[in-house]
Structure 1
Amino acid sequence: MTRFLQVLFIIICLRANVSAQINSQPITIGQTATLWSDILQENRHINIYLPEGYNAADTVRYPVIFVLDGGMEEDFFHLAGIVRYNTQPWIARFPRSIVVGIENTNRRRDFTFAVPNTDFIEKAGFKKTNFPQYGQSAKYIGFLEKELQPWLSKNFRVSEQRTVIGESLAGLLASEILLRHPQLFSTYIIISPSLWWDDESLLKTAVNVTPARVYIGAPNKAEDKRMYEDAVKLYDHIKAAKNIEAVFDYLPEELHSTVIHQAVYNAFKKLYPKTALSQ
């Protein structure tokens, strides 16, 4: 190749690259809103995925799936993808849904309930210094019930069907809501819940008979036997309750750090087993 042809080839490649950049478009999967909370006394960033065909002028109302660890750098992005996949017309496992991710500011503070002392923290294998703030789940639950849910009802076409997804400390919070405030959600996806908080005192809470679907998932028990056993105890605690449809799922190939994605996918399969193919 002559020098001239080499230069011409480089120019063509550069022009093609510039053209590709000019013609590119961003990919958008949702929107982010900032909501001031009087209860929490801070701004909270709310990520929202709206299903295909969503139209604010329509009369259609959509179920809402709440992701407690719902920041873009947390679980919102990949869990919204699972919801989108399962609601495609060739899957149709459950109705197209709105996904609401609540970005964290201090999850150890917000996802744990008040306790008389914190001696149990070190007994559970953690350092007290890891929890400089804790025990304010009551405020966070109040934020969900009195601020976030009404705000969503005012601004989006939401139905009364609500699902909450929580893993680890968020699983502890989801378990607390199930046992103490069951009216807030109709479906609970609880994964590897940190029920060690306050020496498993939450498991002594009486089960309310509010109708609900509950999935409880646990990763490999060799990694954390106590966490696995606590998940089993939670399942045993609620499975006999009237009007609760409970499912336990053991995922031995997953670790605490990897379990949420597969568990949420499994939860939708087990809670909504009927697909378009089987109808």
Structure 2
Amino acid sequence: MNGLGYRLPKTETFELQASRSGKNYRIFVSVPAKPAPADGYPILYALDGNACFASLAEAMRLQSRHPLGLEPGLIVGIGYDTGEPFETNRRFYDFTTPASPSGTRPDGSPWPETGGAEAFLSFIENELKPEIERRYPVDRERQALFGHSLGGFFVLHTLLEQPDAFRFYIAGSPSVWWDESVLLKRLPEWRKHAHEGKPDNRIQLMIGVGAEEKQNMVEGAKQAYGLLAPLESCGMRVAFELFDGEGHVSVIHPLISRMLRFVFQPADR
């Protein structure tokens, strides 16, 4: 042992400050070993980068090395200046729409500040994406967003607010209960307008949840899927995955393998 610890090959990390909020973000990037195609690399942006970036990067590195494997793509984790998997207060603010929850959280702790989703999405679109595209060759037509739990809520919120921001949306165990299930209440009207406007048929959505999660999480994910599935009739791909035997945290790793195929599987397979 040389005491240097383990380092993920072909990865880079940098800090980026959001001009609107003044908040700093730690950005993790996994770069494929193979050269970029003419249109640039497809790319997956992942929330909670401190928790899931390493697993995503290693899974992508392994599954894209074989000629019959996945197409090589960039993995970008959006995280915080912490050594812990989650920065609870920051993610609560970044991933949620404004609300005034009553009482305390289920664990008895007070609710953190909430309502920063609009500013966070603006940071991703107007500052992070341009910075990534300045550093790496990116295929703008093949961009994906992944989030889990409150991050899954943010993914669905982004789909409703700016559906053309990404081509692929992966919502893991989405916290659709947030703000008295405001997102579920919005979906029928959004679906109606999407039907009328014929949404871009390139949009692809995956909702995944563990079968052993709390019942309200499983039912919420199923409800969101049920409300969006009819959009397949006008070209939008909507997939639902129920992972047997998996709980709220353990579901992340089987979901990673499934989502990588969802985003990076070559079109001819």
* Contact persistence 1:111–1:136 (CA under 8 A): yes
* Aligned residue in 2 for 1:6: none
1:175 positional shift: 1.0
Q: Does 1:195 align with 2:195?
A: no
* Aligned residue in 2 for 1:4: none
Relative distance call for 1:234 and 1:27 in structure 2 (3 A) is closer
Q: Deviations over 1:90-112 (max 9, x none)?
A: 3323x210110011351011101
1:26 positional shift: 6.1
Q: 1:63 is matched by which residue type in structure 2?
A: P
Larger radius of gyration: 1
* Contact persistence 2:98–2:114 (CA under 8 A): yes
Q: TM-score, normalised by structure 1?
A: 0.80
Q: TM-score, normalised by structure 2?
A: 0.83
* Contact persistence 1:109–1:134 (CA under 8 A): yes
SS of 2:143's equivalent? Answer: strand
Alpha-carbon distance in structure 2 between the residues aligned to 1:92 and 1:152:
25
Alpha-carbon distance in structure 2 between the residues aligned to 1:33 and 1:273:
28
* Contact persistence 1:238–1:244 (CA under 8 A): no
Q: Does 1:244 align with 2:236?
A: yes
* Aligned residue in 1 for 2:83: none
Aligned residues: 247
SS of 1:240's equivalent? Answer: helix
* Aligned residue in 2 for 1:229: 219
Alpha-carbon distance in structure 2 between the residues aligned to 1:179 and 1:165:
15
* Contact persistence 1:110–1:140 (CA under 8 A): yes
Instruction: Structure 1: give runs of 5+ residues left out of the alignment.
Output: 1-19
* Aligned residue in 2 for 1:96: 72
Q: Deviations over 1:217-261 (max 9, x none)?
A: 11124x400100010011111111123101111112111011011
Relative distance call for 1:96 and 1:251 in structure 2 (3 A) is same
Alpha-carbon distance in structure 2 between the residues aligned to 1:52 and 1:271:
18
* Aligned residue in 2 for 1:61: 40
1:181 positional shift: 1.3
Q: Does 1:183 align with 2:173?
A: no
CA RMSD of aligned residues (A): 2.7
